[in-house]
Amino acid sequence: MIGIIVFLFGLAMGSFIGAWTYRLPRRIKISKGRSFCPKCKYQIAWYDNIPLVSYIVLAGKCRNCHKKIGFREPLIEIVTAFVFVTIFHFVNGCMFFSEGTVLQSDIVCSFVGKIGWWTLPYLLTIFFFIIATFVIDLEKKIIPDEFSFALLFLAIIGVMFANYNDLFLRLFFALLPALFLLFLHFITRGRGMGLGDVKLVLFAPILLGTWQNNLIWMMGSFIIGAIVGVIFMIFGKASFGKQIPFGPFLIISFFITLLFSDIIGKFLII
């Protein structure tokens, strides 16, 4: 039951992220008016703006001009809902600990052990900004500083609120990937790695906690990036020198590390 509520909440937040990440790089205020059709600028009525449902009812077409509206909005909504429900199940798995439950994670359970159910709204807030960052970096190849610093702020506040006694070690861990990416930024003269990525990586180590988790996260980012890069090259979508944003890889790897670092760690024996 709560899972369904979290799913619907995820759809709604995904809808907001979709509108926000569309408007922010185009300097349109989020408060300014309702959504409109990108083709004919027809303002979309509220009953045609229900996440996912409207898209299915209207078969992906604008009610006014009947042109196909892209899959962008419903995709962001579904992914956000999926991520939110997954986090819910992991928090739930830690709350009602039982042997053999698959959906458990050391990192999530560590937070649950300290702040209980607060872990859920906390991680959902974090992932709200993470998904927005993912979308904007993928589409526009920029990571707004507001997003990186909101995540950094949330990470520090969360760790302080949860009363972890190793905050300074975590802050130190945050500097390592940032310095590493800064180094890559300079040796590739800014083409291989943007400064946006350098600022984005600061939040994650504070949440991941241990050097093992951070190693898994960083290695994972580069491995996923390499795999995607090779796939893109095979299909001729990218070549060396053509920039693929790195933020989405950092984010996918963060999601995987947060939920599965203990399993991966056992596998790698670290």
Applying CB under 5 A, which residues contact Zn ion?
37, 39-40, 42, 62, 64-65
Q: At what angle do helices 247-268 and 119-140 cross, to 10 degrees?
A: 130
The least CB distance from residue 43 to Zn ion, in Å, is: 10
Smallest gap from residue 73 Cβ to Zn ion (A): 14
Among 157, 190, 198, which residue's Cα sits nearest to residue 174?
198
User: Which CB, 36 or 153, lies closer to Zn ion?
Assistant: 36
CB-nearer residue toward Zn ion: 56 or 230? 56
Token readout for 51 is 């996440």
Q: How far is the CB of 140 from Zn ion (least distance, A)?
A: 23
- Residue closer to Zn ion, measured from CB, 57 or 231: 57
> Residue 68, SS3?
strand
The nearest distance, CB 37 to Zn ion, in angstroms, is 3
What is the Cα–Cα distance from 152 to 221, expressed in whole angstroms? 19
According to DSSP, the residues that pair with 36 across neighbouring strands are 43
Residue 60 has a CB neighbour count (10 Å cut-off) of 15
- Closest to Zn ion by CB, 74 or 220: 74
Look at residue 36 and give its three-state secondary structure: strand
Q: Of 50 and 182, which CB lies nearer to Zn ion in the complex structure?
A: 50
CB of 209 to Zn ion, least distance (A): 48
Whole-number Å distance between alpha carbons of 258 and 256: 6
H or E element at residue 222: helix 211-234
